[in-house]
Amino acid sequence: MRLSELNTGDIAVVVKILGHGAFRKRVMEMGFVKGRPVRVLLHAPLKDPIKYGVMNYEVSLRTAEARMIEVVKIDDPAQIRRLESAGTLEVHEEGEMIVRDEHRSINVALIGNPNCGKTTLFNTLSGATEHVGNYSGVTVDAKRRVFHHAGYTFNIVDLPGTYSLSTYSPEEMYVRRYLHDNTPDVIVNVVDTSNLERNLYLTTELIDMDRRMVIALNMYDELRAGGGELDYDMLGGMIGVPMVPVVARSGEGVARLLETVIEVYNDVQPNVRHVHVSLGADVEKAVRKLIDTLKESEAIERRFSPRYVAIKLLEGDKEAERQIAGCDDSRKILQLRDELRSALTALHDEDIPSQVASAKYGFIAGALAETLRQNTVDNREMTRLVDSVVTNKLLGFPIFFAIMFFIFWATFFLGQFPMDWIESAVAAISDVVSRVLPDGALKDLIADGIIGGVGGVIVFLPNILILYFCISFMEDSGYMARAAFIMDKVMHRIGLHGKSFIPLVMGFGCNVPAIMAARAIESRSSRLITILINPFMSCSARVPLYVLLIGTFFPAHAAVVFMGVYLTGVLVAVVTARLLRRTMFRKEETPFVMELPPYRVPTLRSSIRHTWGKGKEYLRKMGGIILLASIFVWALNYFPIGNAGDPEKDSYLESIGKAVNPVMAPLGIGWRGTVAAVAGVPAKEIVVSTLGVLYTDNEASAPAKLGARLESVNPQNGRPDFGPAEALSFMVFILLYCPCLATVTAIARECGSWRWAAFSVVYNTVIAWIVAFGVYRIALLC
C-alpha cells in the first residue's frame, strides 16, 4: 500500500521509494528508507499535508509525495513497541519476513523499439508464450507475468514497441502514460544491437526521464557474427546506464541481466549516474529557464523529471501540456514556453523537435564512434538479395500468392492425415459409449451432445495448428513486412496503406489480436477502416467448417475452393474499404512509414511454442464454451422427450429453427444450418459442434462421419440438406456474417464506441446474406 493511504496513528514500514532521481533522493535523505518504521501523526484540516514521525523527528509530506512511498502496515501492538524501541524493522526476525516479502518484489517494465526482440526476452524471462513477429505492432497491449530469481519476485510488463515517447502513435501514448501512472522500479530498455544508432534514441528520452534503467543489448550474437565489437562497459559509463549483452532467443546473458536489475534496484550498480544529453547551447538555455519556472510553480509531479517535461513542452508535446494544464501557473509556463520557442525558431532554420532530434542523434553517433567497431562487410547483404526477389515488381505478387496457396494446401491436405486419426478415435469412443450405456437421456447426452458436438470440432485441431504455424513462420521471418511493402499501392487504391495489410493478414489467425494490432496505424481513419473490415478476414475459428464442407463436397479441388473462400472475404473487405473511404472517412492523416526489418530464420522452438499456445487456446474452448454450447443445443434438440409420444412433434430447437428459417431459405440453408449459424454468434467454432449435435447418427452400426451425415438424404423432404451449392452458400454466409462476441467487443474498445460495433454486426450480416444469395443462385446454374 502507499503511505498516503494510512490513517492518523497508523504505523508502517517503508518498502520502497518510487519516482525519479531528485525527488527519490530527497525523500530518502529525510529518513524514508527501506525497513524504517513511520508513524502517521496528524492530518492537516484539509487532509493535506500530513505529518509523519520517522527517525525520532517529525516531517511533513504532501499527499502527492506520500503516494510515491510504498509501505507495509504493522497492526500487532507488541511488534509496534519493538519497532519503536529498536528504530528499524530489520533487527527483528518477524519484521524481516514482512520486509523481505515486499522489498524483494521488483516491478520491471520492458521498453524498446518495435522488432527489437522485446517480447522474445519477455517470453524467455517469464516462460510465457506471447507471440513474436519480425515486424512492428505485434505487442499491442501490456503483457504481465511474475517469476522468481535469486530470492526476488519479478513483476515484469512487456509494453508495446515504440520509437520514441512522443504522442505520434497510440503505442507511444500508451507507454508514456504507463510510465507516468505506474512508476516501475527498473526499466529494462531492450535495444537491437545490430541497429544501435536508431534504437538508442528512445534510450535518450528515458535518460531525460531520470529513471533507474538497464539496457539489454539484444541480438548480440548478430553483432559478433558480423565481426563487430562493442565496448558496452565504456558506452554504459558514458550514458550512465549499465549495459548487458543478451541473446533472448537462446537465453544467453539473461541471468546476468537479472543480476544487474537487482543491483540497480538496490542502488549498488557502479555505472548508474544521471547524464544530461546535451541539446546544444541555445536549446539547453531554454530548457534551463523552463526547468526553473517549473520548479518554482511546483507544477511538475514526482513521476517525471522537470528536464523531461521542459523538453517536451519546447517540442510542443500535447501530453506535456495536458500534465500541467491543471496547475495555477500553467498560463505562465506556457507563455514562457511560447517565447522560448519563438526565439529558438528565429535563431535556427529548423523546428524545435528537429533540433532536439539532431542533437540526440549527434550525441549517439559520438558515443558509438568511440565504442563500436563494425565489420566493413555489410551484414545486411543477404536481406537485400532476398528483397530483390520477393519484392520484385514481376515476382513479388506471384510469390506472395504462391505462399498463401501453399498455406491453404498444407492446412487442408497435410492436416487430413491426423484429422482422420482423431476422427476415427472420436467415432470409436462414440461407438463404445453407444454399446456400453443403456438407452436413455444420459447416453444420448454423452454420445450425441458431448461427443457429437465437441468431437466434431476437436478433429480439426491439426488444421488449426498447421495454419498458425505457417502464419507464425511468415511473421517471424520478416516476410510479413515485405508483403505490406508490395501491397502498399494496392492498399492505397482501396483507401488504406501498406501498414493496414499486417493486421488484415493477422486476421486469418484471429480477428481479436488483429484488430488490436491496428493500433500501429497512426492514421485514425485508416485504423478505423482496417478494424471494420478485419472481420471479413476468415479467422481460424471458421477453418473447421471449411475443412468439413470442402472435404465432403469439393475434395478434388480443395485448395482452390479453400483459397476462393478466403479471397471472397478479401474482396468484400476491399469493396467495404472503398465505400467507407468515400463516405465516412474521406481524410487520410498520415503517410505510409514502416520499418523493413532484416530477415531472420525463425527458431523451431519459437514457432512451435507459438503454435502450441494457440492449440491450447483452441482446446480450452473445447472444454469451455463449445462444451456448454453443445450440451445446450443437444437439450433444445432432445426435449420434449420423445416429443411427448408424438414423433411428428418438433423439438424446441427445431421449432425455433423453422421459425427463423424463412430468412435463410433463399440461401439454400435449412433449419439445422440456420440454428448452427445463430449458435455461432458467440464463437464461430460452435457452428461445427452444433452441426455435430443436430446431425447425429442414431443407427446401431458404426457412426458415420459428420460429412457423410450432411450429404445423406433428409427423410422429411427426400433430399439432402447440403449439396455443393448449399455448402458454398453456407460457407460464404459464415465467412461474412456478424463477428463473434469477442471481436465485437474488440471493435467497440478499439474504435472507442459501441456504435461502430453495432454497425459491424448489422452491415456484415446484410452483406453476408446478399453475397451468399448470389453465390447460391450462381452455383445452382453451374
Residues 669-714: pLDDT tens digits? 999 999 999 888 888 888 988 898 888 755 444 456 788 889 888 8
Q: What share of the chain is helix, strand, coil (3-state, %, to 5)?
A: 60, 10, 30
* Number of H-type helices and E-type strands within the chain: 37, 15
Q: What are 327-368's pLDDT values in tens digits?
A: 777 888 888 888 998 888 888 878 888 889 889 999 999 999
pLDDT in tens, 199-215: 999 999 999 988 889 99
Mapped onto helix, strand or coil, the DSSP state of residue 474 is: helix
CB atoms within 10 A of CB 231: 14
pLDDT for residue 19: 66
Give CA 605 to chain center in angstroms. 20
Give Cα separations from 458 to 119, 420, 455, 759 (angstroms). 30, 11, 5, 33
Q: Which of 185-194, 266-275, 620-629 has the highest mean pLDDT?
A: 185-194
Is 534 in contact with 511 (CB distance < 8 Å)?
yes
Q: How far is CA 137 from CA 118, 161, 247, 378, in A?
A: 12, 7, 21, 27
Nearest to 195 by CA among 229, 169, 219, 162: 219
Q: Is 440 exposed, middle or buried (0-12, 13-18, 19+ CB in 10 A)?
A: exposed
Please report the pLDDT score of residue 765 as a whole number: 96
Decide: 597 and 478 in contact? Cβ < 8 Å: yes
Best CA proximity match to 779, nearest among 711, 742, 730, 716 = 730
Q: How far apart are alpha carbons 778 and 761 in whole angstroms?
A: 26
Distance of CA 396 to the CA centre of its chain: 29
Give the three cell numbers for residue 561.
475452393
Q: Using alpha carbons, list the distances in angstroms from residue 123 to 145, 217, 645, 689.
A: 9, 16, 60, 34
Q: What is the pLDDT of residue 102?
A: 47
Task: Look at the block and give the residue holding cell 523499439.
Answer: 113
**DSSP-based three-state secondary structure for 223:** helix
**With the CA atoms of 649, 650, 651 and 655 taken in that order, what torsion angle do they form, in degrees rounded to the nearest 10?**
-140
**Residue pLDDT, tens place only, 513-562:** 788 778 777 778 888 999 999 999 998 889 999 999 999 999 988 889 99
Share the mean pLDDT of the chain: 82
Packing angle of the helix pair 396-409, 558-583 (nearest 10 deg): 120
Residue-wise pLDDT tens digits, 649-670: 678 888 888 898 999 999 999 9
Cβ atoms of 621 and 408 closer than 8 Å: no
pLDDT of 702 reads: 43
DSSP-derived pairing of the beta strands 69-74 and 11-17: antiparallel
H-only helix segments in 267-305: 281-297
DSSP 729-743: HHHHHHHHSPPPHHH
Q: Interior CA angle at 573 toward 610 and 456, to 5°?
A: 50
Q: What percent of the chain has pLDDT over 90?
A: 24
Q: Is the pLDDT of residue 99 over 50?
A: no
Cα 398 vs. chain centroid, distance in angstroms? 31
Kind plus residue range of the DSSP H or E element containing 360? helix 352-371
222 pLDDT above the threshold of 50? yes
More confident residue, 306 or 726: 726
N-to-C CA span, the chain: 71
| pLDDT (tens digit per residue) in 382-437 | 778 888 888 888 888 899 888 888 887 888 788 888 888 888 888 888 888 888 88
**What is the predicted pLDDT for the residue at 411?**
82
Q: How confident is the model at residue 778 (pLDDT cuts 50, 70, 90)?
A: very high
- Contact between 779 and 568 under an 8 Å Cβ cutoff? The reply is no
Three-class DSSP category at 229: strand
Least confident of 145-149, 315-319, 462-466, 598-602: 598-602
Across the range 78-85, mean pLDDT stands at 57
The pTM of the full predicted model, rounded to 2 decimals, is 0.68
3-state secondary structure 663-712: HHHHHCCCHHHHHHHHHCCCCCCHHHHHHHHHCCCCCCCCCCCHHHHHCC
Does pLDDT of 95 surpass 50?
no
Q: Give the total residue count for the chain.
A: 782
pLDDT category, 100, cuts 50, 70, 90? very low
48, 63 contact by CB (below 8 A): yes
